[in-house]
Amino acid sequence: MRSYIVQIDSLNTRNLQLTEENIMVRTQLRDVEQVRDELTKEKENLSSQVSIASVLNAKNVLAEGINKSNKPKDRISKVEKIKVCFTVRENAIAKPGSKMVYLRVVRPDNIVLTSGETDLITVDGQQLVYTAKRELEYENKDIDMCIFWDKTEELVPGTYNVFLYAEGYQIGSSSFDLK
């Protein structure tokens, strides 16, 4: 009987030790899980920042109406095309390669000029009609380019707004007037 009491006492002591160990391991696990969660959030934030930083950006956006001889015109009767020229800025974070740049020209009455087809792009979760597009071979350097829209719709007098998009983001804008 005495051996049973010694054995029970030994088991109780061991049980207390294991309980303390278990509490310590659970505390460490919670700490590790908390650190993991914080690192995951930090990684997501950094990923988001890199994603935003890698967006292309256009500068010197110049939009104008042109005639058959590619000369600038501001009279509707003389305009045969709309020409939008710009520089895609150098961005060391952006991935080099083939990119599509979309042009959206909005008339003064808020109608988007199109090429006859209803082409859509997604920007900030919204489907937008675009006017024209052009492929760009991006090499992380400034690159000058122009996008043209051949007149297939009636133009109206007033201020036209021009927007440029790439990879789901607006990268530039401008405006011009036609009489």
pLDDT in tens, 112-162: 998 877 788 988 888 999 999 999 999 989 999 999 999 988 899 999 999
Please check whether residues 94 and 113 belong to one and the same domain.
yes
Name the residue range of residue 16's domain: 1-53
Please check whether residues 34 and 75 belong to one and the same domain.
no
Total domains, the chain? 2
Please check whether residues 109 and 94 belong to one and the same domain.
yes
pTM: 0.73
Bridging pattern class, strands 158-166 and 143-150: unpaired
Distance CA 57, CA 76 (A): 30
**pLDDT (tens digit, 9 = 90+) per residue, 51-105?**
666 788 899 999 999 999 989 999 999 999 999 999 999 988 888 899 999 999 9
Please check whether residues 10 and 81 belong to one and the same domain.
no
Please check whether residues 40 and 105 belong to one and the same domain.
no
Please check whether residues 80 and 94 belong to one and the same domain.
yes
- Domain at 162, CATH number: 2.60.40.2560
